[in-house]
Structure 1
């Protein structure tokens, strides 16, 4: 059975998203291994600490969902990168941040923003076809 181009493009985009989220997971894991799960990030506000630490678990979950439950994965992926950039933009107004990581998040957000419709449509079409078979 031949996979339609739209579904193939969707899969490749979701794979790229998942790989980027695995990279983010690696960053959060390094922080946790060096400082522990309860690190205060140099005096950051409690909600910031909770948010950043939670990404250690949310990012890989999102990567997994992108491949196993694509629609849920796409929704969570957009939510994660939007909230991450918004939060880190707010944080950067008050504290110094690593610009390389911040810029990479913005680039990922732009990539997702410009490609998520393609990823969504390829997934939605496949989901509709599977429901029609049932």
Structure 2
């Protein structure tokens, strides 16, 4: 019987990718928190329907929660990040399409805020495999390595 080898270290690329994802999620959460501090918890985002307002308000909590899960529970945090950004982009594009007058969708959909979300979504989808690379290296009860 051979002695067990050294503990597996998380893949550096995975840690870097998850760190970038977390920074973007925390920035999004901070933007939503700023909006709520400025307008209040029950603000309707300028007259949008309550499901959209509730969704955007929920991102104040969901974004930082998912960012933390990327390191505490990567097998949950990685798919949660993908789900969160994909649903966010779908929601915001659908909302933009619904609100845009005929012929103005592309103009409205190419604002810097929406383009940055689409860019982040594409980055997440392109790097998901790298992020997942060491997600299963933690064992139950093992503390996460942040570096």
Q: Would you call these one fold, judging by a TM-score over 0.5?
A: yes
Scaled by the length of structure 1, what TM-score is found?
0.87
Counterpart Cα distance in 2 of 1:52 and 1:8: 33
1:41-60 aligned within 5 A: 41-60=45-64
Unaligned runs of 5+ in 2: 1-5, 101-107, 141-147
Other-structure match for 2:132: 120
Residues 1:17 and 2:21 are matched in the alignment: yes
Counterpart Cα distance in 1 of 2:80 and 2:56: 16
Counterpart Cα distance in 2 of 1:119 and 1:7: 9
Q: Which structure: greater helix fraction?
A: 1
Other-structure match for 1:39: 43
- The Cα RMSD (Å) is 2.1
26, 33, 38: which one aligns with 2:30:
26
How far residue 71 of structure 1 moved from its aligned partner, in angstroms, is: 1.1
Counterpart Cα distance in 1 of 2:15 and 2:53: 33
Counterpart Cα distance in 1 of 2:38 and 2:112: 20
Question: Which of structure 1's runs of 4+ aligned residues deviate more than 4 A?
Answer: 1-4
How far residue 7 of structure 1 moved from its aligned partner, in angstroms, is: 1.3
Counterpart contact for 1:10–1:118, Cα < 8 Å: yes
Q: How many residues align?
A: 128
In our comparison, the structure showing a higher alpha carbon Rg is 2
